[in-house]
Amino acid sequence: MNITELTSLTGDTICAVSTPQGRGGIAVIRVSGPQALDFVEKRWQGQPLAAMATHTVHLGHLTDSQGELLDQVVLTIYRAPNSFTGEDVVELACHGSTWIQQQAVQTLIDAGCRHATAGEFTRRAFANGRMDLSQAEAVADVIEAQSRAAHHVAMNQMRGRYGDQLKGLREKLLHFTALIELELDFSEEDVTFADRSEVTLLAREIQALIGRLADSYREGNAIRNGMPVAIVGQTNAGKSTLLNALLGDDRALVSDIHGTTRDTIEDTVIMGGTLFRFIDTAGIRQSSDTVERMGIERTWQAIDKASVVLWVVDVTSADTSMADDILGRCDGKALIVVLNKTDLDDDFAARSELNDLLPQGTPVVAISAKRDADIEALRDLIVTATTLPNVDSNAVIVTNARHYQALTRARDAISRAIDGLNSGLSGDLLDQDIRECLHWLGEITGEITTDAILAEIFAHFCIG
């Protein structure tokens, strides 16, 4: 389905409560569509809507279909095309009782509106060219953002910086195809494009730009879903107790039985303005139990995916035999050694042979997870050990898994084109790779998309 067909779907007028579900001081009901003004007029007592200028605010009353007064409301009018959806939009701010909200929506439906589906307002904004698909998706991210960093990245995307970069890439690719086609035009005369170096240079530039965007996803994912911090160590070291202490919640089961945690347990918390995702793991030990071994395999995977690794060592039974295995997996990650149960032995750090095993400069912190002692010091270490992306710069950071997938495919396609250039592949075959690259970039901004993809994207919106 293309955009023109989509637009024809937007013929009716929709309404929905746009503020969160439940009771509140006020609630806002949004109406959008070609008959928004007519339908609201039927239930409105106040200055006629037809006489209102766009972007103005009016006090009046909303009635039910019998003409009974429902509420005093504040009406804001946005005339097409200068509205969020690009259609005529009316927003009614009423008192936020759940009954008023229900009745107000009901009376608008009786007047001719249809109840909006999830994401429909934003989908219309996209269909009417008010924003590209990446911006529409950013609307959901802005609503979902739980930290300053996530908010900043989503705002950047919603304001279109990302779309601009993709547009720039698209233009470069089109220039590339033009150069290749020029070569094709001359192919009958058996002349190859005199100098392919210009084309190769351009292809490399495109590859680097796509690569930078794709690579930013690791950071982007951490910003959006939480910086992953794996809590690992031998069984009974106090990992689950530590998870609970960091979360301030009894999230994981704790017991003195070795091997209590079998599967990874995750939860998020904001520290220093950043969202962290703590992952408690199955304790590492030799085990003949199949299920426990599966759990320990997940522990290693959790380390691989983590940005920060907390290696919890029980000072009363410190076993350093796993040091090599753990250290060997921590390349490029922030490792913090957490000496736990110091309430039972507070002298361990001084006489520990662990110090010789650790790479120089590895931060070591002594705590008691059970007594909640020195957890704050550990929190500080985690925050400082994490290299947070500089979100204040305006660099575009990819946070969306769908975009990452499309970028990876676009990168594969441009890499194939570069290989083809190096091996003297004919122009028409190069052209295919470039068109594929264009296709994947177009999927991100929504120039190329299917109705199924759109339905999937917008279904994840709350009403909005």
Ligand X SMILES: Nc1nc2c(ncn2[C@@H]2O[C@H](COP(=O)(O)OP(=O)(O)OP(=O)(O)O)[C@@H](O)[C@H]2O)c(=O)[nH]1
x/- mask, ligand X, residues 230-269, rule CB under 6 A, reads -----xxxxxxx------------xxx-xxxx--------
Of ligand X, Mg ion, none, which one sits near residue 256, judging by CB under 5 to 8 A according to partner kind?
ligand X
Exposure string (b/e) for 104-125, b if CB count within 10 Å is 16 or more? bbebbeebbbeebebbbbbbbb
Taking CB under 5 A as the criterion, the residue among 117, 177, 260, 386 binding Mg ion is 260
Of Mg ion, ligand X, none, which one sits near residue 274, judging by CB under 5 to 8 A according to partner kind?
none
Residues linked to residue 114 through DSSP beta bridges, in sequence order: 14
d(CA 214, CA 156): 17
- Minimum Å distance from CB 284 to ligand X? 8
- Minimum Å distance from CB 359 to ligand X? 23
SS3 68: coil
x/- mask, Mg ion, residues 210-239, rule CB under 5 A, reads -----------------------------x
SS3 284: strand
Stretch that binds Mg ion, among 76-84, 189-197, 255-263, 401-409 (CB under 5 A): 255-263
Interaction of residue 244 with Mg ion, rule CB under 5 A? no
Interaction of residue 369 with ligand X, rule CB under 6 A? yes
d(CA 264, CA 225): 16
Interaction of residue 343 with ligand X, rule CB under 6 A? yes
Of ligand X, Mg ion, none, which one sits near residue 416, judging by CB under 5 to 8 A according to partner kind?
none
Taking CB under 5 A as the criterion, the residue among 157, 240, 340, 400 binding Mg ion is 240
Stretch that binds ligand X, among 26-34, 141-149, 194-202, 364-372 (CB under 6 A): 364-372
User: Would you say 110 or 267 has its CB closer to Mg ion?
Assistant: 267
d(CA 333, CA 319): 22
d(CA 121, CA 164): 23
Interaction of residue 299 with ligand X, rule CB under 6 A? no
Interaction of residue 421 with ligand X, rule CB under 6 A? no
d(CA 411, CA 437): 7
Sign, CA torsion 278/279/281/284 = negative
x/- mask, ligand X, residues 277-296, rule CB under 6 A, reads ------x-------------
User: Would you say 227 or 232 has its CB closer to Mg ion?
Assistant: 232
Q: Which residue has the tokens 């507070």?
A: 346
Q: Which residues contact 380 (CB under 8 A, 6 or more apart)?
A: none
- Minimum Å distance from CB 233 to ligand X? 6
Of Mg ion, ligand X, none, which one sits near residue 158, judging by CB under 5 to 8 A according to partner kind?
none
Of ligand X, Mg ion, none, which one sits near residue 191, judging by CB under 5 to 8 A according to partner kind?
none
Stretch that binds Mg ion, among 83-91, 240-248, 378-386, 436-444 (CB under 5 A): 240-248
DSSP per-residue letters across 196-260: THHHHHHHHHHHHHHHHHHHHHHHHHHHHH-EEEEEEEBTTSSHHHHHHHHHTS--S---SSTT-
- Minimum Å distance from CB 240 to Mg ion? 3
Cα-based distances in Å from 104 to 63, 72, 111, 119, 297 = 8, 11, 11, 20, 55
Are the beta carbons of 312 and 238 closer than 8 angstroms? yes
Q: Which residues contact 298 (CB under 8 A, 6 or more apart)?
A: 263, 264, 281, 282
- Minimum Å distance from CB 245 to ligand X? 8
Position of minimal CB gap to ligand X: 283
User: Would you say 173 or 282 has its CB closer to ligand X?
Assistant: 282
Of Mg ion, ligand X, none, which one sits near residue 101, judging by CB under 5 to 8 A according to partner kind?
none
- Minimum Å distance from CB 428 to ligand X? 60
Of ligand X, Mg ion, none, which one sits near residue 96, judging by CB under 5 to 8 A according to partner kind?
none
Interaction of residue 408 with Mg ion, rule CB under 5 A? no
d(CA 375, CA 343): 13
Interaction of residue 261 with Mg ion, rule CB under 5 A? yes
d(CA 99, CA 413): 55
What's the alpha-carbon Rg for the chain, to the nearest Å?
29
Of Mg ion, ligand X, none, which one sits near residue 343, judging by CB under 5 to 8 A according to partner kind?
ligand X
Of Mg ion, ligand X, none, which one sits near residue 284, judging by CB under 5 to 8 A according to partner kind?
none
Interaction of residue 329 with ligand X, rule CB under 6 A? no
- Minimum Å distance from CB 291 to ligand X? 13
Residues linked to residue 24 through DSSP beta bridges, in sequence order: 96
Stretch that binds Mg ion, among 186-194, 224-232, 252-260, 430-438 (CB under 5 A): 252-260
DSSP per-residue letters across 324-387: HHHHHT-TTSEEEEEEE-TTT-TTHHHH-THHHHSPTT--EEE-BTTTTBSHHHHHHHHHHHS-
Interface positions with ligand X (CB under 6 A)? 235-241, 254-256, 258-261, 283, 340-341, 343-344, 368-371
Interface positions with Mg ion (CB under 5 A)? 239-240, 260-261
